[in-house]
Structure 1
Amino acid sequence: MASKFAKVLGIIFIILGIVGFFMPMENIFDLTVAHNIVHLLSGIIALAVSSNEAKSAMYAKVFGIVYLLVAVIGLFVTEIAGLVLLPADNVLHFIIAFASIYVGFASPAGKAQRKVA
């Protein structure tokens, strides 16, 4: 479950990162160069861990928590380290965060990690 999620998310983020350089979507999302680089790195890391279920579950947990923090911060500020956060960005960040956290903790590998700890 987590491996498939990481693979799909990785592909989506890499596509978004590349497309963002050529087709800025400033009306909905303000994709700066920094934003595109974050998307590319997120996608590359997701694909790198997608062959291992336990690593994918851990990635989903960490990634989900980081995106949740970005979404919450985005409610109060409109820019973080060169990343412009519009309302549509915040909604998308919340969706990604909750989906990632769910997959990370609900996947069999995520449950096994909790039992070991």
Structure 2
Amino acid sequence: MGTQTLVARVIGAVLTAIGLVGFFSGSSLLGFGINALHNIVHLVSGLLGLWASYSGWSRSYNQIFGIVYLVVTVLGFIASGFMNSLLNTNMADHFLHLVLGVVLGYVGFMVREPAKA
């Protein structure tokens, strides 16, 4: 399994699990703000990551969601009132989204897989 696939699969599995657990956790999960819409966003992005990791679209997923999570980070920092009210985000969420965006973006755009024999 290549790096692209591994990253998409791990991130996809974690986001899917967080989305599911979030429905049973109230408004906070390990200090991160959540609500039903936020859980749905985690589920959708997680399931897409899992799908991508099994269908050969891992690199595209990593690139697209790297950009998406970086945009979400910027929105979280400059429009935190809107993001907080819509998705119940907090500063911990914004920094986690930054880490996700950097990791996914770096892997998606910078990591080259060796050619298959």
Shorter chain as denominator, the TM-score bin is 0.7 to 0.9
- For residues 7-41 of structure 1, the C-alpha deviation after alignment (integer angstroms, 9 at most, x for no partner) is 10111001100110001326722201000000000
Residue 36 of structure 1, aligned match among 28, 36, 39: 39
Which amino acid letter does the alignment assign opposite residue 74 of structure 1?
Answer: G
What does residue range 6-85 of structure 1 map to in structure 2 within 5 Å? 6-24=8-26, 25=28, 28-53=31-56, 55-78=57-80, 79-80=82-83, 82-85=86-89
**TM-score, normalising length from structure 2?**
0.84
Residue aligned with 1:22, SS = coil
Alpha-carbon distance, 1:83 to partner:
1.3
Instruction: Give me the TM-score of the superposition, normalised by structure 1.
Output: 0.84
List runs of 5+ in structure 1 lacking aligned partners. Answer: 113-117
**Residue of 106, 109, 113 corresponding to 1:105:** 109
Distance, in Å, in 1 between the alignment partners of 2:55 and 2:109 is 15
Decide whether the 8 Å contact of 2:49 with 2:58 is kept in 1: yes
**Aligned residue identity for 1:63:** F
Identical positions, percent: 37
